[in-house]
Structure 1
Amino acid sequence: MQYLYGSGEAAALSLQAYQALWNYLKVEIGYRRDKSQIRSVVLTPGSTLDNPRFETCGKRPLAVVLDIDETALLNLGYERDEAASGGGYDAARWSRWEQTGADKVAAVPGAAEALAAARREGFTVIFNSNRSAASAAQTAAALDHAGLGPAALFDTLWLRGEGEPSGKDSRRQKIAGRYCIVAMAGDQLGDFSDLFNAPDASIAARRNTVGGTLLAPLWGAGWFMLPNPVYGTALKGGLDDIFPPDARWTDPGAAPR
């Protein structure tokens, strides 16, 4: 929390990500004369991480799709309360936050400016979040408070319905049916594809899917990652999962244990 909400380093990373997103939209997309041949950055159904496939835009309007929490919106009130009170994630507590915390948030550095610029250039900005659809009005109000709106449910705001799984691919495909999604931003790999969150994937395999497959060129060129060392799917793995055996080192000058 010190890093994400309090450091200049995290603010710089966020600004860097949104600057890169805007430059991509302006240069790589904006200067293309034939927009119909631009490829969507959403994996088509049937794709795998080793065999990704994408559709061309055709006549669909161009859009940017973003996660909300810690991608566009900083949940300062909630995280401050959690830091002070301790304890892990509690779904009921989060629900109360969604309902009552709309004015205790701030925009991720760079987000408001980049999204405003995208809208001015004709890109539709769409939010796809696992926040509850029951709190749609409050979520829209939080986005407005942070200068990130407007957002309208089932148009430019897509939220998790009652009993719906946490994966976002089903909502992504519904959005992709109406828009050509030319850029996505998130703070978790699942903000880009549910395929990254296969339950049987090892720590090393999941990391390799990012840089060791045909998807690697998308980072910074259609897919934009924001820093979040506070919560989420990134924070798992023990000592032996994270550090490979051939990288182990023992200080020869250390006292025997």
Structure 2
Amino acid sequence: MQYLYGSGEAAALSIQAWQALWTYLRNEIGYRRDKSGVRSVALAPGSTLDNPRFEACGKRPMAVVLDIDETVLLNLGYERDEAMRGAGGYDAARWSRWEATGADKVAAVPGAAEALAAARREGFTVIFNSNRSVATAAQTAAALDHAGLGPADLFDTLWLRGEGEPGGKDARRAKIAQRYCIVAMAGDQLGDFSDLFNAPDAAVAARRNSVGGTLLAPLWGAGWFMLPNPVYGTGLKGGVDEIFPPESHWADPQEKK
């Protein structure tokens, strides 16, 4: 929390990511005279991590699809409450109460508001795809407005998790992709780009290698943009032996004597 919400380093990383997204939209997409040949950066149905497929935009309007929490919106009120409580684990009911009542206790991720405003000025539709509940859609839209990130309209530019729906985002991404050509995505978790990254049986090393060791690697910084989040999420897993393989082990020779 100190790093993400309090450090200049985290703010610089966030600004860097949003600057990169805007530069990509302007240079790689905006300057093309014939945009019908631009390809979506959302994985097409039937794709795998080893065999990704992407569809051409055709005549669909272009859109940028974004996660909300810790991608464009900093949940300052909730995280302060977490910090004051100490370790206790995620409480879904308390998070629901935060969604319903914390709309004015948030701030924009550094760089996000400026990048989204620039994208909208150039004709890109900004769409939010979040695992927040559809039951608190009005409050989520209000939080985005409070942070200067809106507007967001439910089932148009705001897509949220329905009652009883699983936490994955691919189904909602597919619905967005039917209406828009998704030319850029941003998130703070790999699931913000594809649910395929979060296979339940994926080992820590395999999940890490899937980012840089597949045909998807060139998308980072060129259609896919990751924001820092060392506070929570699917990236925080793995024991010491999973993260540090045997060949990396070292012991101070002075302490061996």
TM range, smaller chain: over 0.9
2:6 equivalent in structure 1: 6
Residue identity in the other structure for 2:28: E
Summarize the alignment of residues 79-228 of structure 1 with structure 2, pairs less than 5 Å apart. Answer: 79-86=79-86, 87-228=88-229
The reply on whether 1:42 has 2:33 as its aligned counterpart is: no
Moved over 2 A (4+): none
1:71 equivalent in structure 2: 71
Provide TM-score, normalisation by structure 1.
0.99
Q: Give the paired residue count.
A: 256
- Could you tell me which runs of 5 or more consecutive residues in structure 1 were left unpaired when the two chains were aligned: none
The CA distance in 1 between the partners of 2:33 and 2:203, in whole Å, is: 43
Residue identity in the other structure for 1:50: D
Residue identity in the other structure for 1:176: A
Q: What is the percentage of aligned positions where both structures have the same residue?
A: 86
Q: Which moved more, 1:82-91 or 1:113-122?
A: 82-91
- Deviation of 1:255 after TM superposition, in Å, equals 5.6
The CA distance in 2 between the partners of 1:36 and 1:198, in whole Å, is: 33
2:58 equivalent in structure 1: 58
3-state SS, counterpart of residue 127 of structure 1 = strand
- Could you tell me which runs of 5 or more consecutive residues in structure 2 were left unpaired when the two chains were aligned: none
Residue identity in the other structure for 1:34: D
2:18 equivalent in structure 1: 18
The CA distance in 2 between the partners of 1:235 and 1:200, in whole Å, is: 16
The CA distance in 1 between the partners of 2:240 and 2:255, in whole Å, is: 20
2:32 equivalent in structure 1: 32
- Deviation of 1:120 after TM superposition, in Å, equals 0.1
